[in-house]
Amino acid sequence: MSDSFLSVLENASRKRIVLDDVRRAFFVAHPETITAPNRNALLLERLRELEKACCIKLPAAGSWEKVGNPPLPKWVQVTGMETSTPNFEDYASVAWVPELGFWPELKLPALETARLINDYLLSHRNKLRLVPIKERSLEIFGDEKRLDSLRTSGSATLFGGRLPLSVLGAFVVPSPLPYRMSNVVGAPVLIVENHNSFWSFGEWNQHAKRYSAVVYGSGKAFQGSGNALEQVLIEVGGVSAQYLGDLDPAGVRIPIEFNRTRSSVSSMVAPAIELYRWLLENGHKRVLCEQHNGLRSLAEEWLGNELGAELSELWISGHWIPQEALGFERLMATPMQF
């Protein structure tokens, strides 16, 4: 892989970069890995390469994840960011736009970044339309990935939430969600976590006509899909969205985290209760490696008190259920009560 990942890390405002930001930087530099099953392994391989090249430092064993496939460091430290040449730029003499009035709170290199943004805003007052973030980034920095690397993790802001991207006339374009329509207007859509289930439910729904569309959530990528689901609902005439994922802690966290990013209840996903109930009653159980302590509240937050308690008991017994347990043959069996 190229050095684009390192460039994104070096553009960060802090030397020590937490894992969530490291992951996001890796996906910005290498978007083709977002849906790769071995994306964690690819990230770790790249981190090891950069460590060997003395570009970053990885923490001691105590600062790594306890679980994962493979476990990853909770942070990395970029080396060589210091400069022995003092910067004598008089930032107080800059004609700062009001939106960047917080500039005295910034440190290098964030100050220089802010100055470049300031110059752009001064020359484009009242001329900006909303455009995709990479288009605006190329205009300002000559680098289409720079704004993405500067974004506050999981948000549409810069400088720790102080500057909305909308001030720059930019927005984050969500990755499109693949879906399969069934020509049923006014029904919910169903989001499924895994791609084999996407085929099975999509094919079944052509006959069952239960959902306006079946949508592929692509695992954890769904958490960062932004407003893509709202676009799907508009295009297929769906009235709401239900979610079905694996009955393990990771699969439950995905829709919960997605909902936490929503600004209104109407844009959230709800659990596909009857499908989850079928899985709990009939699904093939597998051994759960994750510790179950403290997970009851997680189960009940997603599935409610009754089903959540059943799921919690499943985890306490040391098991979980893949969503593939409700596969195409089961779906096509008659009668099938959902």
d(C-alpha 330, C-alpha 332), whole Å: 5
Phi first, then psi, for residue 61 (nearest 5°) are: -55, -30
Kindly give the pairing relationship between strand 213-216 and strand 189-192.
Answer: parallel
Taking only the tens place, the pLDDT of each residue in 5-28 is: 877 787 766 778 889 888 888 888
Percent pLDDT > 90 in the chain is 57
On whether the CB atoms of residues 150 and 113 are closer than 8 A, the answer is: yes
What is the per-residue pLDDT across 131-168, written as a single tens digit (0 to 9) for each? 999 999 999 999 898 998 898 776 889 998 999 999 99
Return the domain boundaries, the chain. Answer: 4-78, 92-171, 179-332
Environment class of residue 168 by beta-carbon count within 10 Å: exposed (0-12), middle (13-18) or buried (19+)? buried
What's the fold here for domain 179-332?
A: Dna Topoisomerase Vi A Subunit; Chain: A, domain 2 (3.40.1360)
Burial class for 50, CB neighbours closer than 10 Å (0-12, 13-18, 19+): buried
Q: Which residues contact 209 (CB under 8 A, 6 or more apart)?
A: 182, 184, 187
CA triple 63-69-74, angle to 5 deg: 20
Tell me: the pLDDT tens digits for 113-136? 999 999 999 999 888 999 999 999
Q: Which residues neighbour 242 within 8 Å (Cβ) at sequence distance 6 or greater? A: 188, 189, 190, 191, 211, 269, 270, 271, 272
Whose structure tokens read 């799907």?
232
Distance CA 114, CA 102 (A): 10
Summarize the confidence of residues 243-258 as an average pLDDT.
95
- By the 10 Å C-beta count (0-12 exposed, 13-18 middle, 19+ buried), 222 is classed as buried
Burial 107-135 (b: 16+ CB within 10 A, else e): eeebbebbbebbebbeeeeeeeeeeebbe
Distance CA 70, CA 188 (A): 36
Strand extents, DSSP E, 135-228 = 157-158, 163-164, 170-171, 179-181, 189-192, 213-216
Please tell me the pTM assigned to this model. 0.62
Please write the tens of the pLDDT for every residue from 30-71: 877 888 888 898 999 889 888 887 888 898 888 898 888 899
17 in Cβ contact with 79 (< 8 Å): no
